[in-house]
Amino acid sequence: MRKPTANLAVCLLAAMAALPAHADGQRFDVRNPAYRQECGSCHVAYPPQLLPAASWRALMNGLDRHFGSDASLDPASHAEILRYLEANAGRRHARAAGKPQLRISETRWFVHEHAEELPRDIWKHPAVKSAANCAACHTAADSGDYSGRSLRLPKGAGK
Ligand code: HEC
Ligand code: HEC
């Protein structure tokens, strides 16, 4: 005998699988060519959805002092990328000490999401080095895919 609740679960799973690619919190559209070119060369092009517009504005206001690098842009590219980031920004709150947070990896969401399955010292693992190095574990981060399917933890990184 099949239980009706099991059927409901199957239906729900099917409905979730049918969601558009950008709507599940794991797959993001990072295909904007200017963004990829200018913001995807030193690290992966981070999903715009993972920071709110205020954070992107603050970050874009300080590109000449960008985490110890100079990531300055010409005014036209700067305007285009800022517009793209604002249009695709997330809504999750990301402020600390009264200021917009500049790091995805320091947001409450990120810390919480990554604390459950990972040992606390994972970010110092030689194959990871920094929480900003998304691709160390999310092997398809470059294409905006953070799903479980492409997640591979470096050796010795599991709890
Ligand atoms: C010249 C190299 C370079 C370029 C170009 C660059 N970045 Fe970065 N970015 C860095 C470095 C270095 C870090 C710090 C990485 C770390 O902590 O391991 C960083 C970190 C970041 C972070 C924080 C990551 C986290 O969550 O910890 C964001 C967000 C970011 N960059 C966005 C951008 C955007 C948007 C652009 C394009 C306007 C850009 N970057 C262009 C070098 C660059
Ligand atoms: C050391 C490995 C590691 C690094 C580096 C890492 N992650 Fe993750 N990430 C994980 C693991 C493990 C999970 C699964 C957590 C879970 O399912 O409880 C995860 C989950 C996620 C999810 C999915 C959350 C959800 O709703 O299912 C997103 C999005 C994500 N990470 C983004 C990022 C971004 C962006 C970066 C870089 C700024 C990053 N991660 C760096 C290991 C990592």
Each residue's pLDDT tens digit, 48-78: 999 999 999 999 999 999 999 999 999 999 9
Ligand 1 shell residues, CB under 6 Å: 38-39, 41-43, 46, 59, 63, 66-69, 71, 81, 103-105, 130-133
Cα separation, 108 vs 98, in Å, equals 14
Which residue puts its alpha carbon closest to atom 41 of ligand 1?
Answer: 39
Contact 30, 104 (CB under 8 A): no
Q: Higher confidence at residue 75 or residue 155?
A: 75
Residue 54 CA to residue 66 CA, distance in Å, equals: 16
**Are 39 and 46 contacting, i.e. CB atoms less than 8 angstroms apart?**
yes
**Digit-coded pLDDT (tens) for 73-90:** 999 999 999 999 999 999
The atom number, within ligand 2, closest to the CA of 105 reads 38
User: Ligand 1 centre from 148 Cα, in Å?
Assistant: 24
Which DSSP symbol is given to 11? H
In a domain, 102, yes or no: yes
Question: Tell me, what DSSP letter sits at residue 40?
Answer: S
The answer to whether residues 18 and 11 touch, using CB atoms and an 8 Å cutoff, is: no
Task: Answer whether residue 122 is part of any domain.
Answer: yes
Q: Does any domain span residue 3?
A: no
Residue 38 counted as domain residue = yes
Residues with CB under 6 A from ligand 2: 25-26, 46, 50, 104-105, 113-114, 116-118, 122, 128, 131-134, 136-138, 146, 151, 153, 157
What is the pTM (predicted TM-score) of this model?
0.89
- Rg of the Cα trace of the chain? 18
pLDDT at position 117, please? Answer: 83
Residue 7 inside a domain? The answer is no
Question: Between residues 89 and 17, which one has the greater pLDDT?
Answer: 89
Cβ-contact 131, 110 below 8 angstroms:
yes
Domains of the chain: total: 1
Structure confidence at residue 20 (pLDDT): 43
Q: Is residue 17 assigned to a domain?
A: no
Q: Is residue 18 part of a domain?
A: no
Domain span holding position 49: 25-150
